[in-house]
Amino acid sequence: MNMDYLENYYENHKVALFDSEQEIKSFEEFKEYLYSTILSNVQYDFGIDIDIDKLLNLNEKDIKQEIEEEIEK
């Protein structure tokens, strides 16, 4: 995920996020909310688990390797 974008988004919308039902008070809470929402939606919609750390932190080389490994299975 583009952390620069997320940080800027949080900074520009933190009042609305704080005042929301979730009461998101920090950038870390915002990231955790996004991660859990993505994971939950994928699990519900497709019935599959994803590794959220890999989804959010892989570089392009690692992504290509992961895809190749999945294809070989």
* Per-residue model confidence as pLDDT tens for the chain (73 residues): 677 888 999 999 999 999 999 899 999 999 889 888 988 998 899 998 887 777 766 555 666 677 777 787 6
Instruction: Decide: 35 and 52 in contact? Cβ < 8 Å.
Output: yes
Whether the pTM exceeds 0.85: the reply is no
Domains in the chain: boundaries: 3-72
For tokens 């392009």, the residue is 60
Q: Classify burial at 16, counting beta carbons within 10 Å of its beta carbon; exposed 0-12, middle 13-18, buried 19 or more.
A: exposed
Token readout for 40 is 């939950």
What pLDDT score does 59 carry? 59
Dist. CA 62–CA 46, nearest whole Å = 24
Is 21 in a helix, a strand, or coil?
A: coil
What pLDDT score does 39 carry? 86
What pLDDT score does 35 carry? 86
